[in-house]
Amino acid sequence: MLPVTLESARVRLDMPTRADTTAITEACQDPEIARWTTIPQPYRTQDAQGFVDALVGPGWASDREYTWAIRRQGSTWLDGVISYRTARRDLGFWLAPAARGTGLVSEAVGLVVDWAFAQGAPDVYWECYVGNTASAAVARRAGFTYTGSGDALVPNRDGSPAPAWKALRRADGTPASDLPWPPGSTSGTAGSLAP
């Protein structure tokens, strides 16, 4: 698939490029992003370049993973990244510290989920490592239904299993379960991060 741009009044989602290397590298120095994702540690400029060259472009070309830069309308600066992986119809995202608390990632999630449904996806899956209350709060606000916990699709950096909170949003709007969200998972403020 050719890259698709998604927009709202406040957010523009487009494909990250080599021009975003500095923004990606700076954001990935954040301890919270390192804690809740599997980005390389330490994170260097070469890692950002590899992400853009080896994952973003090939992901779109193969229809394996669609990755967008999260930008404020009118700005070229990358504030975060959101990806939709087609094999399991799952969503992942991170947001730079300076952009947290602005609602950007919530709008980005809404745009990507709506787009996935328009492409025919019956549902979209979300997970985060247990304890990532900020990501869970975003998922809940975006209409995802908590479905329980279990091993994450993406293991820890060392390959060991990682416990995850899991949720689903169905295209028809029906709840995927009646389970309550875990305590503390509805008001996170540290950032919006998922593996």
Indicate the burial class of 25 (C-beta count within 10 angstroms; 0-12, 13-18, 19 or more).
Answer: middle
Q: How many domains are contained in the chain?
A: 1
Give the helix/strand (H/E) hosting 60.
helix 57-62
> Is the residue at 79 inside a domain?
yes
Q: Is the pTM of this model over 0.85?
A: yes
Confirm whether 190 is domain-assigned: no
Residue 195 covered by a domain: no
Q: Omega before 161 cis (within 30°)?
A: no
pLDDT of residue 186: 65
Q: Find, among 88, 140, 153, the residue nearest to 116 by Cα.
A: 88
Q: Does some domain include residue 66?
A: yes
Domain that holds residue 35: 6-170
Residue 12: give its domain's CATH number: 3.40.630.30
pLDDT score recorded for residue 187:
58
What pLDDT does residue 183 have? Answer: 85
Q: Does any domain span residue 69?
A: yes
pLDDT in tens, the chain (195 residues): 999 999 999 999 999 999 999 999 999 999 999 999 999 999 999 999 999 999 999 999 999 999 999 999 999 999 999 999 999 999 999 999 999 999 999 999 999 999 999 999 999 999 999 999 999 999 999 999 999 999 999 899 999 999 999 999 999 999 999 999 998 776 544 344 454
Q: Is 56 exposed, middle or buried (0-12, 13-18, 19+ CB in 10 A)?
A: buried
